[in-house]
Structure 1
Amino acid sequence: MQKIHLLLKKEELNEEKIESGKKIAVVLDVLLATTTITSALHNGAKEVIPVMNSEEALEVAKAIPANDCVIAGEYEAKPIDGFVYPSPTLISKMIKDKTLILSTTNGTVALRKSAGATKVFIAALVNNPYVAKAIQKEKEAETIVVVCSGNSTGFSLEDFYGAGHFIQCLVGNQREEYELTDSALAALMFYQGRVEASKQTLADSFVGRMFTRHEGEEDLQLAAEKGAIDLVPILKDGKVVCSGKGIEVKTNN
């Protein structure tokens, strides 16, 4: 029986524990890093390189011709000078056949801290059903660690909701095959109570309210579209690439 555990924020990640045993990490930053990554790959990005901060982003960029990459990032929700803001709808217009170098306060840090897991999947509402379907085939994994990246306040409502949606997609009607920790069960129950309210839940969150104030409606709408992108991004050798596409799943969860 596989165990599903949920971490409520990136600060709960223990890199030594994530490396021990056969663990799969599923990282969510619904607003906005994992939605941006998935969208960028969907729109033709060659790969996405998540970095810890802007300094590392600039260092990584030195090895890639300027015309072949897009450097995007934010720090504490504010744009970084000289970087493209990591808006999925904005980046989609400029990313085809390029590498996205991405620095965010929470999502890319959570990804990097999860790198020691046996496999690291990138998930969001837009691709949760497809990631869940791929993970259902990972029978050797002992624990599936679902990581909410969180935000400046710590707990992130949109990541908690997204985690619940992912867990629903994963377990479906086969609850007896999984052991859910209390945190994982809480996210699942929260999601089940708001199945039809994805956009409203995101809009009501701390970060969602910031989006509304700063004309981020288009990104908010995209992030709320459950199952809209049929990609399964994974972190491999420090880069996010697609491990699967077009997996047939039902997306009415």
Structure 2
Amino acid sequence: MKVHVLLTKEEINAERLRENGKVAVVLDVLLATTTIISALNEGAKEVIPVMDENEAFSLSQSLKHENFILAGERDARPIEHFHYPSPTMLSPLVLGKSLILSTTNGTIALKKAESAERVYISSLLNNKRTAQQLLDCHLESTIVIICSGNAGEVSLEDVYGAGHLIHSLLYLSQQSINMSDAAKMAFYLFLGNQYKASELLSSSSVGNLFERYGLFDDLQLAATANTVSVLAVMKNGTALLEEEHASQSEIRKVRDI
């Protein structure tokens, strides 16, 4: 297994992702992929990431049912007529519904990663479940971990999340992995702050915005590692639970780490 890390979504090259069956894992710890994983864990039928609010409105009008929720933000600010994409706020609303999600960074990263052979959605909440899937099904593949970043800038929390995912791969496999320099950087950032997730996320630029807007519960949730065994994958532009669920023994193994 080879592991590369892209530090921002702007580094995504569709042609290179398409080459040789690369597998992508997209992270937007604050907050899109945390929201997606939380929503699927709370029983959402699906999460549909879109590029912007206009695409979200168009999609909602084309759906053959009305059992959906529009959620989104632009530069961390609410979008009129949309729910704010807070996982803790959306949690009681999503059961059985389609969540149409528009965010500044994470949903755009997911759309840009579509050329990969397989695209997984991950966060601190489910990184170890994602890692187990990569080891079970993509051991001979090149894995590209995509940090969404923030408007072209590197996001501390996403690099930390990438390091956490790499740590999970190493822990579960008990063998060395071929890592790019960016992957090693993420891994060592995580190692040096392994037990400081909440502090690190709060200190990041996006974390500072969350504190300013009073989103303390979302910060706490996003910093919580390995609390769900959700495996999420993109299929035809939609984030869904992977059909091949982990066995109970696998789930226990992940939770025990």
Q: How does 1:39-188 map to 2 (within 5 A)?
A: 39-64=38-63, 67-139=66-138, 141-152=140-151, 154-172=153-171, 174=173, 176-188=175-187
Partner of 2:232: 233
SS at match of 1:30: coil
Q: Is the 8 A contact 1:106 1:151 kept in 2?
A: yes
Deviation of 1:64 (Å):
2.5
Q: Aligned-pair RMSD on alpha carbons?
A: 1.6
- Shift in CA distance, 187/68, structure 1 to aligned 2, threshold 3 Å: same
SS at match of 2:39: helix
> Given residue 149 of structure 1, which amino acid in structure 2 is its aligned partner?
S
- Shift in CA distance, 55/95, structure 1 to aligned 2, threshold 3 Å: same
Moved beyond 4 Å, runs of 4+? 173-177
Q: How does 1:170-209 map to 2 (within 5 A)?
A: 170-172=169-171, 174=173, 176-209=175-208
- Shift in CA distance, 173/48, structure 1 to aligned 2, threshold 3 Å: closer
TM-score scaled by structure 2?
0.94
What are the superposed Cα offsets for residues 8-42 of structure 1, whole Å, 9 maximum, x if unpaired?
Answer: 00000001111111211000000000000000001
> Given residue 221 of structure 1, which amino acid in structure 2 is its aligned partner?
Q
Deviation of 1:229 (Å):
1.3
Is 1:242 aligned with 2:241?
Answer: yes
What are the superposed Cα offsets for residues 43-96 of structure 1, whole Å, 9 maximum, x if unpaired?
Answer: 110000001111111111012367400011111111111111100001111111
TM-score scaled by structure 1?
0.95
CA–CA distance in 2 between the matches of 1:32 and 1:45?
A: 17
Partner of 1:36: 35
What are the superposed Cα offsets for residues 114-152 of structure 1, whole Å, 9 maximum, x if unpaired?
Answer: 111111000000000100001101246431000000013
- Shift in CA distance, 36/112, structure 1 to aligned 2, threshold 3 Å: same
CA–CA distance in 2 between the matches of 1:136 and 1:43?
A: 26
> Given residue 116 of structure 1, which amino acid in structure 2 is its aligned partner?
S
SS at match of 1:137: helix
Partner of 2:213: 214
Q: Is the 8 A contact 1:35 1:126 kept in 2?
A: yes
Unaligned 5+ segments in structure 1 are none
Q: Is the 8 A contact 1:149 1:159 kept in 2?
A: yes
Deviation of 1:252 (Å):
6.1
How many percent of aligned residue pairs carry the same amino acid? 42
Q: Is the 8 A contact 1:226 1:251 kept in 2?
A: no
SS at match of 1:172: helix
Partner of 2:9: 10
Please identify which structure carries the higher helix content: 2
How many residue pairs get aligned? The number is: 252
